Structure 1
Amino acid sequence: MPSSAAPLLEAMPDPAETARVLAGPIRSMERLSGGGNNRIYRVETAGGAYALKCYGSTERLAREYGSLSFLAGIGAGSLTVPHPEAAAPDHGAALYEWIDGTAVSRAPDGRKEDDMAQAVAFAAFLAGHRSAEGAAALAEAAEACLSLTGLLDQIESRFARLSDVDDVRLGEFLRADARPVIDRARIRALTGYAAAGLGPSAPLEPGLRTLSPSDFGFHNALRRRDGSLVFLDFEYFGWDDPVKLTADFLWHPAFSLALQEQADWHDGMMALFAADPAFSARLRAQLPLYGLRWTMILLNEFLPERWERRLFAGTSAGWSEAKAAQLSKARLWLREARRLTDGPDGDVRSSFPLLADR
């Protein structure tokens, strides 16, 4: 069991020095809670406040800073995303506009009536700028799923990595519970693809892909005083199948959606990507598989290298407690994936609500 985040901590320069390199003389600096795999600070200077983000990965730094620079260039501006100010790759950090806002509720009853409309509008903004200058040069999203085979391979890869972990509870869950559902979901998806005349290994043609934050949801949003939302976290941004954007939003474990919100998101994506003739068929075939993919992701806490990242970001949880909590969540996600896999093969909307008792 790792007892510290030593490899990451030793490699990270002093945050105060990094702040001075990027922002000049600083008046104060405060580390913020949260941050996932990173460390985030509020930095006060004579010119105003900034957000300093210290990454545990230079790849994620480059992707996020480049993505936000692209979005600033096409007019996203400070209304929907933070403006990138400066980056210092040798310090593993970047400086961004400070957003004066409050966290958006992760539960439906704490959100505003038009929050979903703003989320759909941002997805539409990205889709509407697929031909913008510089868009073609952007990379695929991290772990993009551009074919059914690619999605299946990702699930199997995560399953294999978790199977190597020496943990009795995890091993039993994977072998006895998850494995049979994965096998049935694969058959269901391949059958659906065959019925729709789709090739499971054929990558989605570039003209049908969309730009995606790849970790999109209300957990990565702040609300300004005027009610407008600012979306955060573009470490995994890039080109992807809009089906993945759609499914991930529905399955994401970091926030929950009411039945009407699920329907509104689904309907919004169906309208947005109506020109894609196979969008509905792909979504119907792949939705249970995305539930299984998230089942595997929820178990990342069992991987020592992933736990190192949590320690780097400053988690206060104990490793044993974190693993037990994530296994419990994974059981719920697996149950829902099983329900969709074994249930009637109707339209996606008829499967809602997903995760009703999460």
Structure 2
Amino acid sequence: MLDTDELLAAAGRLCAVAERPAPLSLRQLAGGKNNRVFAVATAGGPALILKSYHADPRDPRDRLFAEWSFLAYVWDRGVRAVPEPLAQERESHTALYTLVPGEKLDAGDITSDHIAQAARFICAANGAPREPDRLQPGSEACFSLADHVATVDRRVARLATLDPDAPHRERAETLVRTGLAPAWAKVRETIRAASDTATLPTAAQCISPSDFGFHNALVDGSGRVSFIDFEYAGRDDPAKLVCDFFCCPEIPVPLRHRGAFIDSLAEGLGLDAAFRLRCDLLLDAYRIKWACIILNDFLPMDAARRDFANPGARDARCAAQLDKAVAKLAEIGLR
């Protein structure tokens, strides 16, 4: 992990490449779960953002490559509701971006206009020339129902062996054994009964931010929504995007907006009835997947990544994540 002097030096090299004023200081921003994010004060210019990406040989995901590729793709299409990618340095796992103004939304403040802006962003990101093959598949991308099932299977299987040193491990093991695993067995059979073995054609795929929701959004004083954090982005099933959007627990999106969001994507991306059917069929599967994600703090590698972004406080994190996982599983069956 780079220390403060090394990060400031990396910021200096990146600012030089981007032809921006030299950095004066760094201030770490709160909220990063996998990476460290810093506001960069510059000599006579606007503040910028430096991201230091977590890298681990046990985790093959290249978060810097995914985020940079997505931002370059959508920026080329005139999308401006995102940070501008300025410079990257593969060796130090760092990149420089413009700073997007705004504040996080509270769940109770989400309006139909915010939902409409989110849908327009996805449609604009997939605007002409629409070339989904230009991006690699996103993290855990799914191109068939079997892919969706396999993704959740892997998530559930990982929870079979928890970190023995994790706080509240016994309670987590009980929840997995008596709640999460049986729920997945039932939902899994419902999906398998659909007997749809088709592979999603390229025309029905989309460029997806992945991990898409208002937890990765900022709203400025005029109500304009901007979107951030695309380290899992890539080509994917738009139905997965919809399910993630309504299942992510950090800033939950009320289900009453689901129909309008699906309608907007179907119209904007030219998607057929099969897309709507997948959105309905997969919703509970993604509730279970998100319950698994919530419990990642009980896995050694994921706990190490959290500590990279925000050292300490694992006991409190684990206790809070258990409560969130219970709440997410309680949503199963809601429409």
TM over 0.5: yes
The more displaced of 175-184 and 122-131 is 122-131
Q: Give 1:139's aligned residue.
A: 136
Opposite residue 303 of structure 2, the aligned amino acid is W
Matched, 1:93 2:89: no
* Shift of residue 315, structure 1, vs aligned partner: 4.5
Cα shift readout 1:294-332 (whole Å, capped 9, x = no counterpart): 11111101012111111111245x222222221221112
| Residue pair 1:106, 1:254 contacting (<8 A) in 2 also | no
| Residue pair 2:26, 2:40 contacting (<8 A) in 1 also | yes
SS of equivalent residue, structure 1 residue 333: helix
Q: Give 1:60's aligned residue.
A: 63
- The 1:224/1:321 distance shift into structure 2, 3 A limit, reads closer
Q: What is the correspondence of 1:112-261 to structure 2 with a 5 Å cutoff?
A: 114-129=113-128, 131-132=130-131, 135-165=132-162, 166=164, 167-191=169-193, 193-194=194-195, 198-199=196-197, 202-261=198-257
| Residue pair 1:141, 1:239 contacting (<8 A) in 2 also | yes
| Residue pair 2:77, 2:125 contacting (<8 A) in 1 also | no
Instruction: Report the Cα distance in structure 1 between the residues aligned to 2:235 and 2:319, rounded to whole angstroms.
Output: 34
Instruction: Report the Cα distance in structure 2 between the residues aligned to 1:74 and 1:86, rounded to whole angstroms.
Output: 19
* Shift of residue 128, structure 1, vs aligned partner: 3.0
Aligned length: 319
| Residue pair 1:291, 1:333 contacting (<8 A) in 2 also | yes
Q: Give 1:355's aligned residue.
A: none
Cα shift readout 1:81-101 (whole Å, capped 9, x = no counterpart): 1101111111110000122x2
| Residue pair 1:212, 1:245 contacting (<8 A) in 2 also | yes
Matched, 1:23 2:15: yes
The alignment's TM-score, normalised by the length of structure 1, stands at: 0.83
Matched, 1:37 2:39: no
SS of equivalent residue, structure 1 residue 163: coil
- Specify every segment of 5 or more residues in structure 1 that has no aligned partner in the other structure, as ranges: 1-8, 341-350, 353-358
Determine what percentage of the aligned residue pairs are the same residue. 33
* Shift of residue 48, structure 1, vs aligned partner: 2.6
Instruction: Report the Cα distance in structure 2 between the residues aligned to 1:13 and 1:146, rounded to whole angstroms.
Output: 44
| Residue pair 2:144, 2:200 contacting (<8 A) in 1 also | yes
Instruction: Report the Cα distance in structure 1 between the residues aligned to 2:274 and 2:260, rounded to whole angstroms.
Output: 20
| Residue pair 2:107, 2:253 contacting (<8 A) in 1 also | yes
| Residue pair 1:273, 1:279 contacting (<8 A) in 2 also | no
Instruction: Report the Cα distance in structure 1 between the residues aligned to 2:272 and 2:311, rounded to whole angstroms.
Output: 42
* Shift of residue 168, structure 1, vs aligned partner: 2.5
Opposite residue 159 of structure 1, the aligned amino acid is V
* Shift of residue 130, structure 1, vs aligned partner: 6.3
Instruction: Report the Cα distance in structure 2 between the residues aligned to 1:288 and 1:274, rounded to whole angstroms.
Output: 25
SS of equivalent residue, structure 1 residue 47: coil
The more displaced of 122-131 and 52-61 is 122-131
> Aligned-pair RMSD on alpha carbons?
2.1
Instruction: Report the Cα distance in structure 1 between the residues aligned to 2:249 and 2:111, rounded to whole angstroms.
Output: 20
* Shift of residue 116, structure 1, vs aligned partner: 1.2
| Residue pair 1:247, 1:287 contacting (<8 A) in 2 also | yes
Q: Give 2:104's aligned residue.
A: 104
Instruction: Report the Cα distance in structure 2 between the residues aligned to 1:313 and 1:96, rounded to whole angstroms.
Output: 18
| Residue pair 1:86, 1:94 contacting (<8 A) in 2 also | yes
Cα shift readout 1:256-286 (whole Å, capped 9, x = no counterpart): 2235333432333344456324112222221
Q: Give 2:58's aligned residue.
A: none
* Shift of residue 10, structure 1, vs aligned partner: 6.1
- The 1:231/1:319 distance shift into structure 2, 3 A limit, reads same
SS of equivalent residue, structure 1 residue 28: strand
Opposite residue 319 of structure 1, the aligned amino acid is R
- Specify every segment of 5 or more residues in structure 2 that has no aligned partner in the other structure, as ranges: 17-21, 56-60
Opposite residue 71 of structure 2, the aligned amino acid is L
Opposite residue 89 of structure 1, the aligned amino acid is R
Q: Give 2:286's aligned residue.
A: 290
The alignment's TM-score, normalised by the length of structure 2, stands at: 0.88
* Shift of residue 19, structure 1, vs aligned partner: 1.0
Matched, 1:269 2:265: yes
Instruction: Report the Cα distance in structure 1 between the residues aligned to 2:249 and 2:117, rounded to whole angstroms.
Output: 20
Opposite residue 121 of structure 1, the aligned amino acid is R
Cα shift readout 1:165-202 (whole Å, capped 9, x = no counterpart): 143222222222222211111111122x23xxx22xx3
- The 1:130/1:180 distance shift into structure 2, 3 A limit, reads farther
* Shift of residue 119, structure 1, vs aligned partner: 0.5
SS of equivalent residue, structure 2 residue 223: coil
- The 1:157/1:113 distance shift into structure 2, 3 A limit, reads closer
SS of equivalent residue, structure 1 residue 14: helix
